[in-house]
Chains A and B, each alone.
Chain A
């Protein structure tokens, strides 16, 4: 009963790993993977010196670091605050609403964000004009300097509720006696949150952080493809979209595979590295 699974992985996971060979070969469709001539590290050299690629790398890192700063802590904060809500019904309502964007595809969620940001009917422009922050409506999506923030903001909004589930569960597992003891010692709500709840869920936070760090070269392909336009291309192209465009649209198979391989290897190193650091520093680790 196990063999269909193994066969599946052999074909759909291991065979593509063999296909990585084309990153080191001058791949020719007609010759196939095996018979194409070797090219050594030509393609790796090509992309590290390609100014386009450096730009892509900058965008990828910038958006991810911004996400680590903003959208990583957001669900934690959300879970902590949600936990402090006393009215059960209101709490459930907030939770239910906050999960909704997770189930909506990026095509639609991106479309909705574009609607809110629109210079003609976008409510954000209305708000900013009414509050006299700006005089004229802005075409947000045509401002390259805002793209990273819009992207990370959209991701934050989409993921805040769903990402919080795991922390909510962790918070629910905190021993109530710890809270009681802290209360007797005179700790206020905020202090208990800071000194009881947060340390108790630190393990979960660290594990999630390890995942987040190892994913630092990923930027969701789906969302970027939706929010990208010719005006922001310079700041919106990321490794994932670049691999797709160079590989499938320009058919530079070997080059694109080399970029993809370099990314996979760095991600793997980051995962083990973050895991190692965390095990040394905090005793929390994935493996």
Chain B
């Protein structure tokens, strides 16, 4: 055991200090938004609310959760997250299984065809025109179908499927199982960790996505919660409108809110699900990144 020199101690102290700074910088924005979201609206507008709510109120949250538009936006988000994730994993895994079979004729050609799409992208407008042609514009499915398949995820899954010994698949075949049955009852259960990791990433993507809805839909009824929020955050007019709408329903609550505090409450209400489940899923996320980087 070597004795820690004075230089080492300095180094350690500095290091802990820097790490704490990163932690504080990361948590601070959440904290200040939380404080604002629990503060009375008009009072917040006067400024100077920093570390603790000056005039405490729950009205911002009550207003947010009393509004129908946001429930509908949540509904769209949840629908796209659940359906989009399930379909993405199932579809991509199916293709990955096919590609993992060494017996597949023309596999190298298929692989090239797939890899090429990772390097070259048609661009926004050609995609837009394609969706238009397919009748996907202003349709809920435009949030799901274009994300059904990802070459990157396919490669990750494929390399995992390959690690399953060929003999297991052969013996299942001898027992009379077809390819689809082998895929569903043998391969998928055996590779749950990688499927779970990809499902998690896809789920977070769908939960947070707003650009597709911004570009390819114009109907309010299709607005996911992130796009709804985006309008509130970037356009003070939208926030005021939302506040006014709330005021007409709940005159008492309306006196306690302002567009600014309402916005903060909405932001935190939308992040909360992720922040709550995140600590439990963290290890899968981290594993997922490493899978991608090692096998990719």
Contact = CB atoms under 8 A, between A and B. Distances in A.
A199 interface: no
A101 interface: yes
Describe B's contact surface by its main secondary structure: helix
A162 B124 CA distance: 28
B36 A108 contact: no
A133 interface: no
Interface stretch (A47-55, A109-117, A143-151, A276-284): A109-117
B60 interface: no
Contacts of B233: 107, 110-111, 114, 226
A248 B126 CA distance: 11
Given A6-B110, A81-B15, A107 B27 contact: no
Contact of B289 (A103, A166, A183): A166
**Central interface residue in A16, A19, A161, by most chain B CB within 10 Å:** A16
B32 interface: yes
Given A2-B95, A2-B99, A100-B278, A22 B234 contact: no
A30 interface: no
A98 B229 CA distance: 24
Contact of A107 (B11, B19, B117, B226): B226
Contact of A121 (B50, B114, B120, B180): B50
Determine the interface band of chain A, counting residues with CB < 8 A from chain B.
Answer: 35 or more
Contacts of B214: 225
A271 interface: yes
A68 interface: no
B230 interface: yes
Interface string A92-107: 0110111111011111
Given A96-B279, A103-B278, A121-B48, A4 B36 contact: no
B113 A9 contact: yes
Contacts of A160: 22
Contacts of A165: 286, 289-290
A261 B123 contact: yes
A2 B104 contact: yes
**Central interface residue in A2, A94, A104, A120, by most chain B CB within 10 Å:** A2
Determine the interface band of chain B, counting residues with CB < 8 A from chain A.
Answer: 35 or more
Interface in A224-274: 225-226, 228-229, 243-244, 247-248, 253, 256-257, 260-261, 264, 268, 271
B33 A16 contact: no
Interface in B1-50: 2, 5, 7-8, 11-12, 15-16, 18-19, 22-23, 25-30, 32-33, 36, 44-50
Nearest to A222: B211
B28 A22 contact: no
Contact of A253 (B125, B230, B263, B286): B125
Given A19-B126, A115-B29, A121-B48, A97 B278 contact: no
A260 B125 contact: yes
Interface of B: 2, 5, 7-8, 11-12, 15-16, 18-19, 22-23, 25-30, 32-33, 36, 44-50, 91-92, 94-95, 97-99, 104, 110, 113-114, 117, 119-130, 134, 145-146, 148-149, 151, 154, 179-180, 183, 204, 207-211, 214-215, 226, 229-230, 233-234, 263-264, 267, 270-271, 274-275, 278-279, 282, 285-286, 289-290, 293
A-B complex: 4 closest residue pairs judged by Cβ atoms: A16-B122, A19-B126, A1-B98, A5-B95
Interface of A: 1-6, 8-9, 11-20, 22, 33, 78, 81-82, 84-86, 90, 93-94, 96-101, 103-116, 119-123, 126, 157, 160-162, 165-166, 169, 183, 188-190, 221-222, 225-226, 228-229, 243-244, 247-248, 253, 256-257, 260-261, 264, 268, 271
Given A20-B122, A105-B226, 11 more contacts: A1-B180, A5-B98, A8-B149, A12-B130, A19-B127, A97-B26, A120-B48, A121-B48, A161-B26, A165-B289, A253-B129
17 contacts: A5-B95, A5-B99, A5-B149, A5-B154, A9-B114, A17-B126, A22-B126, A81-B19, A98-B22, A112-B29, A116-B28, A120-B48, A188-B5, A189-B11, A225-B234, A253-B129, A271-B119
